[in-house]
Structure 1
Amino acid sequence: MTFHAALETKALETKALETKALETKALETKAVLPPLENKAAEPAPVRSAVDDVAAAFAAFKETNDERLRQIETRFGTDVVTEEKLARLDAAIDAARTRLDRMGLERARPALADPLTRDDGAAQEHKAAFDLYVRAGESGGLKRLESKAMSAGSGPDGGYLVPDTLERTVLQRLAVLSPIRAIASVQQISGGQYKRAVSTGAPVTGWVSETAARPGTDAPSLAQLAFPAAELYAMPAATQTLLDDAVVNVEEWLAGEVETAFAEQEGIAFVTGSGVGRPKGFLASDTVANASWVPGKLGFVGTGNSAAFAASNPSDVLFDLVYALRAAYRQNARFVMNRKTQSAIRKFKDADGNYLWQPALAADRSATLMGFPVTEAEAMPDIGAGSLSVAFGDFRRGYLVVDRTGLRVLRDPYSAKPYVLFYTTKRVGGGVQDFDAIKLLKFA
Structure 2
Amino acid sequence: MTVHVPTDSKNRKLETLDLKSALPPLEDKAAGPGDPAVSAAMGDLSRAFEAFKETNDARLAEIEGRASGDVLTEEKLARIDAALDTARTRLDRLTLDGRRPLLGASAPVVRDAAAAEHKAAFDLYVRAGESAGLKRLEEKALSAGSGPDGGYLVPATVEGNVLTRLANLSPIRALATVRVISGGQYKRAVSVRDAVSGWVAEAAPRPQTDAPALSELSFPAMELYAMPAATQTLLDDAIVDIDSWLADEVETAFAEQESTAFVTGNGVSRPRGFLSYDTVANAAWVPGKLGTVATGSAGAFPASNPADVLLDLVYALRAAYRQNASFVMNRRLQSTIRKLKDADGNYLWQPPLAADRSATLLGFPIAEAEAMPDAGTGSLSVAFGDFRRGYLVVDRAGLRVLRDPYSAKPYVLFYTTKRVGGGVQDFDAIKLLSFG
- Answer whether TM exceeds 0.5 for this pair: yes
| Residue 7 of structure 2: aligned partner | none
| Residue 44 of structure 1: aligned partner | 36
Per the alignment, in what secondary structure is the counterpart of residue 408 of structure 2? coil
| Residue 187 of structure 1: aligned partner | 180
Q: Matches of residues 195-234 of structure 1 in structure 2 within 5 Å?
A: 195-202=188-195, 217-234=210-227
1:202 CA displacement: 4.7
Distance in 1 (alpha carbons) for counterparts of 2:293 and 2:223: 34
Asked if the contact 2:190/2:217 (under 8 Å) is kept, the reply is yes
| Residue 297 of structure 1: aligned partner | 290
| Residue 329 of structure 2: aligned partner | 336
Relative to structure 1, is the Cα distance of residues 332 and 83 closer, same or farther in structure 2, using a 3 angstrom cutoff?
Answer: same
Per the alignment, in what secondary structure is the counterpart of residue 428 of structure 1? strand
Q: Rg larger in 1 or in 2?
A: 1
1:42 CA displacement: 2.5
Distance in 1 (alpha carbons) for counterparts of 2:212 and 2:173: 31
Relative to structure 1, is the Cα distance of residues 127 and 278 closer, same or farther in structure 2, using a 3 angstrom cutoff?
Answer: same
Q: How many matched pairs?
A: 399
1:119 CA displacement: 1.6
1:272 CA displacement: 0.6
Q: Matches of residues 39-188 of structure 1 in structure 2 within 5 Å?
A: 42-108=34-100, 116-188=109-181
Asked if the contact 2:396/2:420 (under 8 Å) is kept, the reply is yes
- Which amino acid in the other structure matches residue 60 of structure 2? L
* Displaced runs of 4 or more, over 6 A: 109-115, 204-207
Distance in 1 (alpha carbons) for counterparts of 2:115 and 2:276: 41
1:118 CA displacement: 2.5
1:108 CA displacement: 4.2
- Which amino acid in the other structure matches residue 326 of structure 2? R
In structure 1, stretches of 5+ residues that fail to align are: 1-39, 208-212
Asked if the contact 2:195/2:210 (under 8 Å) is kept, the reply is no
Q: What does the per-residue CA deviation read over 1:178-197, in whole Å, with 9 as the maximum and x for residues that have no partner?
A: 10001000000000000000
Distance in 2 (alpha carbons) for counterparts of 1:162 and 1:113: 16
Relative to structure 1, is the Cα distance of residues 57 and 110 closer, same or farther in structure 2, using a 3 angstrom cutoff?
Answer: same
Relative to structure 1, is the Cα distance of residues 322 and 115 closer, same or farther in structure 2, using a 3 angstrom cutoff?
Answer: closer
Distance in 1 (alpha carbons) for counterparts of 2:198 and 2:182: 38
Q: What does the per-residue CA deviation read over 1:334-362, in whole Å, with 9 as the maximum and x for residues that have no partner?
A: 00000000000000000000000001211
1:291 CA displacement: 1.1
Match of 1:432 among 387, 405, 425: 425
Relative to structure 1, is the Cα distance of residues 293 and 420 closer, same or farther in structure 2, using a 3 angstrom cutoff?
Answer: same
| Residue 7 of structure 1: aligned partner | none
Q: Matches of residues 348-427 of structure 1 in structure 2 within 5 Å?
A: 348-427=341-420
Q: What does the per-residue CA deviation read over 1:290-347, in whole Å, with 9 as the maximum and x for residues that have no partner?
A: 1110000011111111111121111110110011011101111100000000000000
Distance in 2 (alpha carbons) for counterparts of 1:63 and 1:225: 51
1:126 CA displacement: 1.1
Q: What does the per-residue CA deviation read over 1:346-387, in whole Å, with 9 as the maximum and x for residues that have no partner?
A: 000000000000012110100000111111111111112111
Normalised by the length of structure 2, the TM-score is 0.88
Relative to structure 1, is the Cα distance of residues 442 and 203 closer, same or farther in structure 2, using a 3 angstrom cutoff?
Answer: same
| Residue 10 of structure 1: aligned partner | none
1:113 CA displacement: 7.2
- Which amino acid in the other structure matches residue 270 of structure 1? V
Per the alignment, in what secondary structure is the counterpart of residue 342 of structure 2? coil
Asked if the contact 2:295/2:302 (under 8 Å) is kept, the reply is yes
Asked if the contact 2:290/2:428 (under 8 Å) is kept, the reply is yes
Asked if the contact 1:142/1:154 (under 8 Å) is kept, the reply is yes
Q: Matches of residues 238-277 of structure 1 in structure 2 within 5 Å?
A: 238-277=231-270
In structure 2, stretches of 5+ residues that fail to align are: 1-31, 201-205
1:218 CA displacement: 2.4
Q: What does the per-residue CA deviation read over 1:414-433, in whole Å, with 9 as the maximum and x for residues that have no partner?
A: 11111000000000000000
Distance in 2 (alpha carbons) for counterparts of 1:219 and 1:279: 27
Per the alignment, in what secondary structure is the counterpart of residue 243 of structure 2? helix
| Residue 3 of structure 1: aligned partner | none
Relative to structure 1, is the Cα distance of residues 96 and 135 closer, same or farther in structure 2, using a 3 angstrom cutoff?
Answer: same
Asked if the contact 1:335/1:376 (under 8 Å) is kept, the reply is yes
Identity of aligned residues (%): 75
- Which amino acid in the other structure matches residue 46 of structure 1? V
Distance in 1 (alpha carbons) for counterparts of 2:171 and 2:100: 14
1:151 CA displacement: 2.1
Asked if the contact 1:412/1:418 (under 8 Å) is kept, the reply is yes
1:110 CA displacement: 7.3
Which one has a larger percent helix, Structure 1 or Structure 2?
1
Asked if the contact 2:33/2:355 (under 8 Å) is kept, the reply is no
Per the alignment, in what secondary structure is the counterpart of residue 109 of structure 2? helix
- Which amino acid in the other structure matches residue 284 of structure 2? S
Distance in 2 (alpha carbons) for counterparts of 1:373 and 1:109: 27
- Which amino acid in the other structure matches residue 62 of structure 1? E
Distance in 2 (alpha carbons) for counterparts of 1:367 and 1:99: 15
Relative to structure 1, is the Cα distance of residues 237 and 190 closer, same or farther in structure 2, using a 3 angstrom cutoff?
Answer: same
Relative to structure 1, is the Cα distance of residues 233 and 203 closer, same or farther in structure 2, using a 3 angstrom cutoff?
Answer: farther
Relative to structure 1, is the Cα distance of residues 107 and 158 closer, same or farther in structure 2, using a 3 angstrom cutoff?
Answer: same
